[in-house]
Amino acid sequence: MDRAALADFLRRRREAMQPEDLGLPTGARRRTRGLRREEVASLAVMSTDYYTRLEQRRGPQPSEHMLASLARALRLTGDERTYLYRIAGHNAPVSLSASPHVAPALLRVLDRLDDTPALVLTDLGETLVQNRMAAALLGDASKHTGLARSAIYRWFTDPAERSIYPEADHARQSRAQVANLRAAHGLRGPRSRAGELVRALQKANEEFAELWARHEVAQRFEDHKTLIHPELGAIELDCQALFTEDQSQTLLVLTAPPRTEGHEKLQLLAVLGLDRFTEAEH
């Protein structure tokens, strides 16, 4: 670990970023060039003290999980992320598409979406980052580990995962999940994480095994869907997906037309999400 290089790199990347790039208010009294340390720490979901010690060459060696969070917070490119891992004493993940690194272009769009649910997913259904509205609607995805990080895996192994969809939509959703995984499996190969998911699900779930044998392939999301919220009930939403060029990541945005019941429920959801975030901070 090169503490001096790490500290200097973090400081310079922080100073190079502007608050408006992330949708943060600039403030008339802002004296710090670029972002404040506490702003980077908040974006990376770590304490300000921990981040400050890294910049002051006093911190412990960051874990790979911490480095991935810092790379997202600082909107690093693939080359910059690789450099960050190396000066921190770690080997960077070999494949960008198989890593928790979020495509910077998708993050820039996500940063500007604070009034509607939005999240970035891998082609395996793993949530890389979500805004507060998405967490309020779909739950906190950061709690999942291992194979359960994939929503596809959870759909076929955890009955609670299906409660967010009306029962009448379960069969269609099952087919869509398998078709998406088939597309990812074809791209990544049988020895990849996609192959690991397939093998695990074939053993764990008969429905998955039957659907997998159909060889349906697709990489898309329904344009319109109904989701069930535990407090607000059914919410009808339109779904828009923006893919990276290599199709490995997707920005999913859920909206509702103005003056509809779905729009009114999203407004209520925004209040619920803010209240829960405030409670979590305290």
Q: Kindly calculate the radius of gyration of the chain based on its CA atoms and give it in whole angstroms.
A: 20
Rounded Cα–Cα distance for residues 41 and 37 (Å): 6
CB < 8 Å & 24+ apart, contacts of 154-163: 156/201, 156/204, 156/205, 156/207, 156/208, 157/201, 157/204, 157/205, 163/228
267 in the same domain as 247: yes
**What local confidence, expressed as pLDDT, does residue 152 receive?**
96
Domain count of the chain? Answer: 2
Rounded Cα–Cα distance for residues 70 and 90 (Å): 14
pLDDT digits (tens, 9 = 90+) for 45-103: 889 999 999 999 988 899 988 898 898 888 887 778 888 988 999 887 654 444 467 88
pLDDT digits (tens, 9 = 90+) for 197-235: 999 999 999 999 999 998 888 766 668 899 999 999 999
Residue 179, pLDDT > 50, answer: yes
Alpha carbons within 13 angstroms on the beta-carbon side of residue 210 total 7
**What local confidence, expressed as pLDDT, does residue 276 receive?**
53
Residue 250 within a domain: yes
Listed residues 92, 124, 139: the one ending a domain: 92
More confident residue, 237 or 112: 237
> Lowest-confidence range among 39-43, 49-53, 163-167, 277-281?
277-281
- Domain extent, residue 258, equals 104-281
The predicted model gives 158-183 an average pLDDT of 93
**What local confidence, expressed as pLDDT, does residue 235 receive?**
96
- Across 69-217, where does the E strand assignment appear? 118-122, 127-130
Q: What average pLDDT is seen over the chain?
A: 86
228 in the same domain as 177: yes
> Lowest-confidence range among 23-27, 114-118, 173-177, 182-186?
23-27
The predicted model gives 181-206 an average pLDDT of 90
Q: What is the pTM of this model?
A: 0.67
220 in the same domain as 171: yes
Residue 98 within a domain: no
Which residue's entry shows tokens 């099952």? 174
Q: Which of 38-47, 98-107, 165-174 has the highest mean pLDDT?
A: 165-174
134 in the same domain as 46: no
Residue 282, pLDDT > 60, answer: no
CATH of the domain at 171: 3.30.450.180
